[in-house]
Amino acid sequence: MSGKQAAYIFNVNVVTPNGVIEHGWVHLVDGLIEEIGSLSDNSNNVPPVTLYEHAEVIDGRNGWLLPSFIDVHVHGGYGHDFMDADSAGLDAITKFHAQHGTSVMLATTVTAPKSDIDKVLSRVSHYRESAMPYAQLLGVHLEGPFISAKWPGAQNPEHITAPQLAWLEDWTQRFPELIRMQTLAPENEGALPYIEALVSKGIIAALGHTNASYEQVQLGVEHGLSHAVHSFNAMRALHHREPGTVGAVMSNPAIMAEVIADGHHVHPAVIGLLAKLKGPDNLLLITDAISAAGLGNGDYQLGGLDVVVLDGVARLKEGDSLAGSTLTMIDAFRYAVQNAGISVEHASRMASGNPARRLGIDQATGALQPGKQADVLLLDEQLELERVWIQGRVIR
C-alpha cells in the first residue's frame, strides 16, 4: 500500500451528482476516486480514512471540489491550431487547456478541403497511440465543411460543400471511432441521409452554421440530429412567427445545446434563459477557443482567414464576425455562475457531467464518485482554479 500515489483534500464543498457535500473530503488513490465523505461531524478535521504513506493532505479552505471539464468544441490554444498542429503542437494545446481545468477534449476542425481534414485525422489518430500527458484527445469534432453558405461565421466559405457520403465512408474506414461529432446544416440537400449515416456509425450529428427553419430542424431530429453547436451564433434567429433554428434548439428536448459563455457571443441573460429552457441536463459549456487562447492581442489565423484579437475578443479582419474565442473552460464555468445566474452545481454539470454523457464516457469520468477517474479540480471560494488532477496526476 505504501507505494500508492494518493491525495486527501478536505474542508471543501464537494460537487457530486447527488448534490453538494459541505465540509466534504475526497480521497484519491492511484488515479481513481477512492472515497468521498463529510467532516460535518468531525470537528478535529481528522481524516476518517486510512491514508496511504506519502499521501498529500490538502486543506481546501472552504473552496470547491469539482470534476474536471470536458470541452467538445475547441480549435486550439497557446499559439497552435488543431488544423496544422504536429505532436508538439498537440502537446501545447492539451497542456494549456489542462492547466485551465480541461481533462478531455475533441480536436475541432474548421471548414476546409478534404485533404486538410484527412491530415488532422491522421495526426490526432497517431497522437492518441501514445500516452497523452495532459488533457486527453478523445477524438475529433468535424465542424463543417457541410454547412450553410448563408451562415459561414468565421468558416472559410470557399470550402463549403454539400454532404459527401463517400468522404464519411473513407474517414470511418481509415480512422474508426475517431470522429465523435460532426456539425452540418440540416437544410442542405443530402443532409438527411448524411445525418442517418453519422448516427449509424455512432457519430453525434450536430447542427450549426445553418439557416434551417424550425420545421427543417424538427425533420433533422427525426433522422437523428441531436446536438446544436454554439447556440445563437451562426444560425437562423428566433422570430415569433417563424421560430427558426434557435426556436427549435430552445424548445426541442431531443437537442443538447452548446453555449459559449464569455459575455461576447451571447448575453448573460440569454445564457440564463437558455439554461432554464434546456434544463441542467441538456446544456453544455464550450470554449470554441482558437490558437489565440492564452496569448495576448494580435493577429492570428483560423482556417486560413485573418483574425484580430483585441481585449480578448477574436474577430475576422474582414467582415468583423466573431472568430471563435480566447476562452478557457474555467472562465466559461465562472462566467456562467457569476454572470448568468447558474448555480455552481448546475454549471459543473454543464461543463463536465453533460459532455461526459454526451460522449458516452460518463461511466469513467465527468462526476465525483468513488471508482471514477481522479479527474478533479480544486477551486477557491471565488471560483479561481488552484489545483488540477487528471487521472490522478497533478497538472497544476
Strand 32-38 with 298-302, pairing: unpaired
Strand 136-143 with 76-77, pairing: unpaired
Give the DSSP H/E element, type plus range, for residue 70. strand 69-74
Give the DSSP H/E element, type plus range, for residue 394. strand 393-394
Residue 181 CB: number of other CB atoms within 10 A? 23
**Set of cell numbers at residue 352:** 463536465
Is the distance from CB of 209 to CB of 182 less than 8 angstroms?
A: no
- Distance set, CA 140 to CA 183, 202, 359 (Å): 11, 13, 11
**Set of cell numbers at residue 223:** 433522422
Q: What is the DSSP letter of 235?
A: B
3-state helix, strand, coil in the chain (%, to 5): 25, 30, 45
Rounded distance between C-alpha atoms, residue 272 and residue 251, angstroms? 15
Of 128, 152, 147, 130, the closest CA to residue 138 belongs to 128
Active site residues: 288
Q: What is the DSSP letter of 15?
A: E
**Set of cell numbers at residue 385:** 482554479
Of 277, 258, 264, the closest CA to residue 350 belongs to 258
Mapping DSSP to helix (H, G, I), strand (E, B) and coil, where does residue 115 land? helix
Is the distance from CB of 265 to CB of 314 less than 8 angstroms?
A: no
Residue 308 CB: number of other CB atoms within 10 A? 17
